[in-house]
Amino acid sequence: MAEIKTGGVRMIPVRGGEYRVWTKRVGRGPAVMLTLHGGPGCTHEYFECFEDFLPRQGIEFYYYDQLGSHYSDQPEDIGLWTVERFRDEVEEVRAGLGLGNFILYGQSWGGMLAIEYALAHPEHLKALIISNMTASIPSYAAYINELRRRLPPEIQEVMEIYEARGEYSAPEYEKILIGRIYSQYLCRTNPWPEPLARMFRHMNFQVYNTMQGPNEFIITGNFKDWDRWADLHRIQVPTLLLVGEHDTMNPADIAEMGRRIPNSRVAVIPGGSHCTMWDAQEPYFEALLRFVADVQSGRFAGALR
pLDDT tens per residue, range 60-87 = 999 999 999 999 999 999 999 999 999 9
Contact status, residue 187 vs residue 273, Cβ threshold 8 Å: yes
Which residues on neighbouring strands pair with residue 13, listed in sequence order?
A: 20
In this structure, is residue 198 part of a structural domain? Answer: yes
In this structure, is residue 171 part of a structural domain? Answer: no
Per-residue pLDDT, averaged over 7-34, amounts to: 96
Question: What is the overall mean pLDDT for the chain?
Answer: 94
In this structure, is residue 174 part of a structural domain? Answer: no
H or E stretch at 47: none
The residue from 72, 274, 279, 294 that is catalytic is 274
Give the number of domains in the chain.
Answer: 1
Q: Tell me which of 302 and 161 has the higher pLDDT.
A: 161
In this structure, is residue 65 part of a structural domain? Answer: yes
* Local confidence band at 180 (pLDDT 50, 70, 90 cut-offs): confident
The residue from 247, 253, 279, 294 that is catalytic is 247
pLDDT of res. 4: 53
Per the annotation, the verdict on 247 as an active-site residue is yes
Q: Tell me which of 300 and 126 has the higher pLDDT.
A: 126
pLDDT of res. 215: 85
Contact status, residue 20 vs residue 13, Cβ threshold 8 Å: yes
In this structure, is residue 156 part of a structural domain? Answer: no
Q: Tell me which of 215 and 10 has the higher pLDDT.
A: 10
Per the annotation, the verdict on 274 as an active-site residue is yes
The residue from 69, 108, 136, 273 that is catalytic is 108
Phi, psi (deg, nearest 5) at residue 35: -105, 140
In this structure, is residue 68 part of a structural domain? Answer: yes
In this structure, is residue 168 part of a structural domain? Answer: no
pLDDT of res. 305: 43
DSSP conformational letter for 192: P
Percent of the chain at pLDDT > 90 equals 86
Contact status, residue 196 vs residue 278, Cβ threshold 8 Å: yes
pLDDT of res. 138: 97
- In what side-by-side order are the strands of the sheet with 9-14? 9-14, 19-26, 59-65, 31-36, 102-107, 125-131, 239-244, 264-269
The CATH number given to whatever domain includes residue 287 is 3.40.50.1820
Per-residue pLDDT, averaged over 92-121, amounts to: 98
Most confident of the following: 170-179, 180-189, 274-283: 274-283
From start to end of the chain, where are the E strands? 9-14, 19-26, 31-36, 59-65, 102-107, 125-131, 239-244, 264-269
CA atoms within 13 A on the CB side of 195: 13
Give me the domain span that covers residue 22. 9-145+191-297
- Which residues lie below 8 Å from residue 218, measured CB to CB, with a gap of 6+? 163, 168
Buried b (16+ CB within 10 A) or exposed e, 147-171: bbeeeeeeeeebbeebbeeeebeee
In this structure, is residue 211 part of a structural domain? Answer: yes
